[in-house]
Structure 1
């Protein structure tokens, strides 16, 4: 009998590749870390090739692991599509999902890939906008559900909490400028309000050098070294840095991430996507 690739092993491998940490992957698939580690060893034995490189900060894919990931994702997609089609158990339809720019960049790839594996016939249309605009779209039934940020004190049904942080460009000292140049979202967004309130509370002079809902625009100005931005900690790009407390900027609050629906009783399709988000988002 020839070699074969077990679907469960491939599914576990893809989760490890996505999370880059055995502990997070184990939490996602409901296994212990030691059981998941044994699965990965078994897969490496089947292929007689190293797939993962353990590091102090998690795991990296070897070149062989990167090649397997491409095949594994295609195999799982075909497997799940066939199962959904032949059993009639897969959901189908379209979901209109609202999400702020920073969460879309960090969380959305993982959330959509995972949901697509379970429900390959579902189409998720994504609308990116700041929380105040998303709430307006929820009210107008332009989206079915939205992932939103709320001030921590006002947040109910919180799925995850994220600290807001000051963000600057490595090797520059924009935090020392007077007045402090800021790159912020629109006036009614949490980062804008939190930045101004915290600076006002300590009497620090500032000016808003750039205001936009575009995450790309904000980070571009920070990369130029001409301004400081406020982002959720998870959304800080790898080439930018969190401004240290030693720079003298006042602390910022945390925000709560929650879901809002356009109706009290969402459809089974929307409810399934919401449940998927609730289960996956805390571990990302």
Structure 2
């Protein structure tokens, strides 16, 4: 009897392989854990090979499972692309997208509105956080792709470059405090590292008065006049002011904005959204 690889079985298998737990995979494909487990057993029976090792901390792939995963991604990508092209319905599905918090207000409305106009059947889940947190989510495959901040300037990779700037309250001279009081993101972020390195190189005394991954919290501290912050120029709200470089505020570097994938071989939907980012982000 002829054997066929069912698309639904492959889609469920890929979800399990990427999330490493039946619970998260079931939520992704809209099935119960019991139904997902039955699908895996059916796929294992069809291939006559074990695909998963089940343990207390989740599941891992067997050697045969790893081999199937590569084939499954190729098959699903081709299937989804062909269906969208031949049906004329366009792309559909859910895409998990990460964006640095400081770019959210400036860029996200334009990115999402223009993509929805071209692909109305796609639902984009957005996760905003500093770049190190986004990269951790990509490694765990809980995001499909993300815009990330980078110090690199690789041609064809960096979509645009944004200068880092000192930002303060328009009505308070927080930059005159001795030592300089800063409101910065987490220590592993580019803005925190750039501020520390530039001030140390210039011999300017400072202390971090407020450190947080929350952009809202940082802006609240700056608005209170208690500290100054370092933001990308595009992220500066109109009620705050960019402080010109001076002896106490050395010039800051620029950072790049690039696309990073959660998987080495993105789906047709993820690839199309990435191409959309490459088209629109340089123009914002």
TM-score normalised by L of structure 1: 0.68
Q: Which residue of 2 aligns with 1:88?
A: 88
- SS state of the match for residue 183, structure 2? strand
Task: Work out whether residues 170 and 241 of structure 1, in 8 Å CA contact, stay in contact via their aligned partners in 2.
Answer: yes
1:9-49 per-position Cα deviation (integer Å, ceiling 9, x unaligned): xxxxxxxxxxxxxxxxxxxxxxxxxxxxxxxxxxxxxxxxx
- SS state of the match for residue 234, structure 2? helix
- Matches of 2:153 and 2:180, distance apart in 1: 27
- In the TM superposition, what is the alpha-carbon distance from 1:153 to its structure 2 partner? 5.8
- Matches of 1:166 and 1:237, distance apart in 2: 13
Change (3 A) 1:149 1:155: farther
Q: Which residue of 1 aligns with 2:181?
A: 181
Q: Which residues in structure 2 correspond to 1:245-256 (within 5 Å)? A: 245-246=245-246, 248-256=248-256
- Matches of 2:277 and 2:166, distance apart in 1: 27
Q: Which residue of 2 aligns with 1:240?
A: 240
- Matches of 2:196 and 2:154, distance apart in 1: 19
The range that moved more, 180-189 or 245-254, is 245-254
- In the TM superposition, what is the alpha-carbon distance from 1:88 to its structure 2 partner? 2.9
- Matches of 1:275 and 1:146, distance apart in 2: 12
Q: Which residues in structure 2 correspond to 1:39-50 (within 5 Å)? A: none
Q: Which residue of 2 aligns with 1:157?
A: 157
- In the TM superposition, what is the alpha-carbon distance from 1:264 to its structure 2 partner? 1.4
- In the TM superposition, what is the alpha-carbon distance from 1:129 to its structure 2 partner? 1.1
Q: Which residue of 1 aligns with 2:103?
A: 103
- In the TM superposition, what is the alpha-carbon distance from 1:248 to its structure 2 partner? 3.6
- Matches of 1:152 and 1:88, distance apart in 2: 39
- SS state of the match for residue 159, structure 1? strand
1:156-183 per-position Cα deviation (integer Å, ceiling 9, x unaligned): 7100100000000002111111100000
Calculate the aligned-residue CA RMSD, in Å: 1.8
Task: Work out whether residues 94 and 123 of structure 1, in 8 Å CA contact, stay in contact via their aligned partners in 2.
Answer: yes
- Asked if 1:201 is matched to 2:204, the reply is no
- Matches of 2:201 and 2:153, distance apart in 1: 18
Structure 2 portions without partners, runs of 5+: 1-83
Task: Work out whether residues 168 and 229 of structure 1, in 8 Å CA contact, stay in contact via their aligned partners in 2.
Answer: yes
Q: Which residue of 2 aligns with 1:217?
A: 217
Change (3 A) 1:153 1:267: closer
TM-score normalised by L of structure 2: 0.68
Aligned length in residues = 200
Task: Work out whether residues 184 and 191 of structure 2, in 8 Å CA contact, stay in contact via their aligned partners in 1.
Answer: yes
Q: Which residue of 2 aligns with 1:16?
A: none
- SS state of the match for residue 158, structure 2? coil
Q: Which residues in structure 2 correspond to 1:105-120 (within 5 Å)? A: 105-120=105-120
- Matches of 1:131 and 1:266, distance apart in 2: 20
Q: Which residue of 1 aligns with 2:124?
A: 124
Structure 1 portions without partners, runs of 5+: 1-83
Who wins on radius of gyration, i.e. which is larger? 2
- In the TM superposition, what is the alpha-carbon distance from 1:260 to its structure 2 partner? 0.4
Instruction: List structure 1 runs of 4+ shifted beyond 3 angstroms.
Output: 152-156
Task: Work out whether residues 152 and 253 of structure 1, in 8 Å CA contact, stay in contact via their aligned partners in 2.
Answer: no
- In the TM superposition, what is the alpha-carbon distance from 1:247 to its structure 2 partner? 6.6
Q: Which residue of 2 aligns with 1:279?
A: 279
